[in-house]
């Protein structure tokens, strides 16, 4: 009896994954408002019934797409940050990786342009925290504090400020007409913010 249940679970997960993948590609290319559920199920080669079995509506599906995109964003940042052994450089490179990711057309559309309006600021922020980006920032900050290169008293509070600053920088880049210039300017600003808290010695 366990085998059929396992197969059903695998099939269900595969169906859900196909819907998320299809929706993600369409949302990234056309934007949330320009994509209908009929396009999504056609791209996934599934039925509308399958979509509504796994998701309440298109917005619910978008939240799953956002979570997947944000998870990829966090993983990419972690890969770059943890390639650095020095705690200060790990923090700097992690922030730079976030800003660089804001230039990616797919992430820019889903994470920074559509998500705040579709989900609303509060849910967008909460969903972003759920993906563990906040934990990654906390780890980087704490490591820099422990190494004596960062001067902050409350990492638990400051991690929220850093995440907020990075999200705002990402939106600044995403909404700019010249995204490359915006990325450069945002990078300078974030660098100045961190450098102001660096322990000089």
Domain ranges of the chain: 1-55, 59-195
The answer to whether residues 127 and 119 touch, using CB atoms and an 8 Å cutoff, is yes
CATH class of 59-195: mainly alpha
CATH topology of domain 1-55: Arc Repressor Mutant, subunit A (1.10.10)
Q: Distance (Å, rounded) from C-alpha 18 to C-alpha 46?
A: 9
Q: Tell whether pTM > 0.75.
A: yes
pLDDT in tens, 137-183: 999 999 999 999 999 999 999 998 998 899 899 999 999 999 999 99
Q: Distance (Å, rounded) from C-alpha 67 to C-alpha 63?
A: 6
- Angle at 123 (CA atoms; ends 19, 57), nearest 5 degrees: 35
pLDDT in tens, 137-147: 999 999 999 99
113, pLDDT greater than 70:
yes
In this prediction, residue 201 carries a pLDDT of 67
Average pLDDT over residues 92-111: 93
pLDDT in tens, 5-37: 688 888 889 999 999 999 999 999 999 999 999
Average pLDDT over residues 78-96: 95
In this prediction, residue 180 carries a pLDDT of 96
Q: Distance (Å, rounded) from C-alpha 101 to C-alpha 108?
A: 8
Share of the chain above pLDDT 90, in %: 81
Q: At 1, is the pLDDT very low, low, confident or very high (cuts 50, 70, 90)?
A: very low
Q: For the residues of 74-141, what is the DSSP string, one character each?
A: HHHHHHHHTT--SHHHHHHHHHHHHHHHTTSHHHIIIIIIIHHHHH-HHHHHHHHHHTTHHHHHHHHH
Q: Distance (Å, rounded) from C-alpha 148 to C-alpha 185?
A: 28
In this prediction, residue 131 carries a pLDDT of 65
The answer to whether residues 65 and 26 touch, using CB atoms and an 8 Å cutoff, is no
């Amino acid at each position: 009896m366990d085998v059929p249940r396992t197969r059903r679970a695998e099939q269900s997960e595969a169906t859900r994954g196909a819907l998320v993948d299809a929706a993600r590609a369409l949302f990234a290319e056309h934007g949330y408002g320009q994509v209908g559920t009929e396009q999504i199920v056609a791209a996934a080669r599934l039925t509308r019934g399958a979509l509504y079995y796994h998701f309440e509506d298109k917005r619910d599906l978008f939240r799953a797409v956002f979570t997947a995109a944000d998870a990829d964003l966090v993983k990419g940042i972690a890969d770059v940050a943890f390639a650095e052994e020095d705690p200060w450089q790990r923090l700097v490179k992690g922030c730079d990786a976030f800003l660089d990711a804001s230039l990616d057309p797919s992430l820019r559309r889903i994470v920074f342009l559509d998500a705040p309006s579709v989900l609303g600021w509060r849910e967008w922020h909460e969903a972003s925290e759920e993906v563990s980006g906040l934990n990654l920032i906390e780890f980087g900050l704490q490591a820099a504090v422990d190494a004596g290169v960062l001067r902050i008293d409350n990492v638990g509070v400051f991690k929220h400020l850093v995440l907020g600053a990075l999200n705002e920088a990402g939106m600044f880049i995403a909404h700019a007409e010249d995204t490359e210039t915006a990325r450069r300017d945002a990078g300078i600003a974030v660098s100045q913010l961190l450098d102001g808290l660096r322990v000089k010695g």
